[in-house]
Amino acid sequence: MRANKSPKKSPRLISPTGVIKLVTHTMMGAALGLAFGLALILSNPAVANLLNHGGSQAVFVLTLVTTFAIGATLTGVVFLLAEDKES
C-alpha cells in the first residue's frame, strides 16, 4: 500500500524567500572575505611585502572576497535543501 504523502511543494530555493536567503549568505561570505583579506594583509608582513613589490592588492582582495562569497552561497544552498527535506 502507498503511504499518504502530502502534495509536492515547490522547493524553498526557488521561492523569493529562498533567493533572499541565498543573497544574504553571499553578502555574509563577501564581508568575511573582505575582513579576512584585510586582517591577512595587516597581520602578515610577508603578504604585505609581496603586495608592495608588484602584487595587486585589489586582485588579491577580490579573489578572497569571491572565494568566500561562492563558498557561503553553496553552503546556503545546502542549508536550504536540508530545510526542505526536514519539512
pLDDT at 2: 55
Is pLDDT at 51 greater than 60 in this prediction?
A: yes
Across all residues in the chain, what is the average pLDDT? 86
Is pLDDT at 11 greater than 80 in this prediction?
A: no
CB proximity list for 76: less than 8 A, separation 6 or greater: 21, 22, 24, 25, 26
Rounded to 10 degrees, what is the CA torsion of 48, 50, 53, 57?
Answer: -60
- What CA–CA distance (Å, rounded) separates 30 from 32? 5
The pTM is what? 0.78
- What CA–CA distance (Å, rounded) separates 33 from 46? 19
- What CA–CA distance (Å, rounded) separates 24 from 67? 16
